[in-house]
Amino acid sequence: MPTSEVDAGLATLSDQLVLVTVLLYVAAMIGYALELAFAAPRTNQVSGARRKVLAGAGGPSADESAGSEVSATSTKPPASPGWAQRAGTVALVVGWLGWAANLAAVVIRGLAVERWPWANMYEFVVAICFAAVTAFLFMQIRFPVRFLGAFVFVASTIGLGFAVRYLHVQAGPVQPSLNTYWIAIHVSAAILASGLFMLAGVSGILYLIRKDGLSRLPTRTDLERVAHRAILVAFPIWTFAIIAGALWADRAWGRYWGWDPKEVWSFITWIGYAAYLHACTTAGWKGKKATIIQIIAFAALLFNLVGVNIFVGGLHSYADVP
């Protein structure tokens, strides 16, 4: 395809919008953090008598029931202060504004170079942060996951900050193998799945941090439910991304699979999440054991997205890292 000239004005505007996005995400993170910090404590524990009843009736053991969302007493916990709830509402609004700025930055970057705007590591990370925030905001419409706001936005802020500080490259043309419609199919699917996996990964890390007893962190039941739902949606999308990547490889390099480091780690990530879903659906694994599996898969995903491009050579080494 012919290479078009870069619109420097639009490229600069896109970079500025990324900086605006970082500021808005920081503000949303602070608002969500204030709401969570002053929220009424939640408990994971059940009473000793209740545990004995569950165990005697063939229910979960004491350790397993400790992770369930059942209050140890019938006393209603104190409500969160009104100002903390308002801080959460403001954070929600600011988060949507940041999402709009993030979307505009991605779209304008694409218009500036007249191609899909995720052909290098900078553009890819900006798009993944957008996908993670999108997954959180739209999941929040249907499910009560607002408690994850502070953690999702801190992860996205760190990701964007890292991209701006260490990965930024000037907008420009790409090598011919990337200037194809396959980037819209394969990479878009990978970005969407990665955003959902990020949401699940944050939930899983909080699950392992969360202790028994009263805590302002979400209950383990809620965290496990959010992670499982996100992975259920993301896994088939990731599977499609791998298949589409194989078809693209055949078109670009004349083979479907060549054991390139990126291909290998994409497959390792797929195996990790497949193992998680298999353990949950066939072996009935829940709680800590299942969470550890998905955290291992999430670590493989992060290395695949960042480590392989930066530290490992191969046919996918066109990340343009400065």
Residue 55 pLDDT: 42
Tokens of 254: 């004349």
184 in Cβ contact with 116 (< 8 Å):
yes
Residue 56 pLDDT: 46
Give 316's DSSP letter. Answer: T
Angle between helices 188-209 and 220-253 (to 10 degrees): 150
Residue 63 pLDDT: 46
- Is there a domain that residue 231 lies in? yes
Residue 319 pLDDT: 52
CB neighbours of 73 closer than 8 A, spacing ≥ 6? 47
Nearest to 298 by CA among 66, 136, 132, 143: 132
Residue 180 pLDDT: 76
- Is there a domain that residue 205 lies in? yes
- Is there a domain that residue 29 lies in? yes
274-296 core/surface letters (b: 16 or more CB in 10 A; e: else) = ebbbebbeeeebbbeebbebbbb
- Is there a domain that residue 318 lies in? no
C-alpha 202/C-alpha 273 separation (Å) is 15
88 in Cβ contact with 7 (< 8 Å):
no
171 in Cβ contact with 177 (< 8 Å):
no
Tokens of 212: 């028994």
CB neighbours of 89 closer than 8 A, spacing ≥ 6? none
Residue type, 152: V
Residue 231 pLDDT: 95
- Is there a domain that residue 169 lies in? yes
Q: What is the mean pLDDT of each run of 10 residues along the chain (322 residues)?
A: 69 94 95 83 50 42 43 48 82 95 95 86 91 91 85 93 89 73 86 92 90 76 90 95 88 80 90 93 83 94 82 58 56
Range of the domain at 300: 8-70+83-311
3-state secondary structure (DSSP) of residue 215:
strand
- Is there a domain that residue 249 lies in? yes
pTM equals: 0.79
Provide the number of structural domains found in the chain.
Answer: 1
- Is there a domain that residue 232 lies in? yes
Residue 14 pLDDT: 93
- Is there a domain that residue 3 lies in? no
Residue 79 pLDDT: 59
Residue 318 pLDDT: 52
C-alpha 58/C-alpha 54 separation (Å) is 6
C-alpha 70/C-alpha 44 separation (Å) is 6
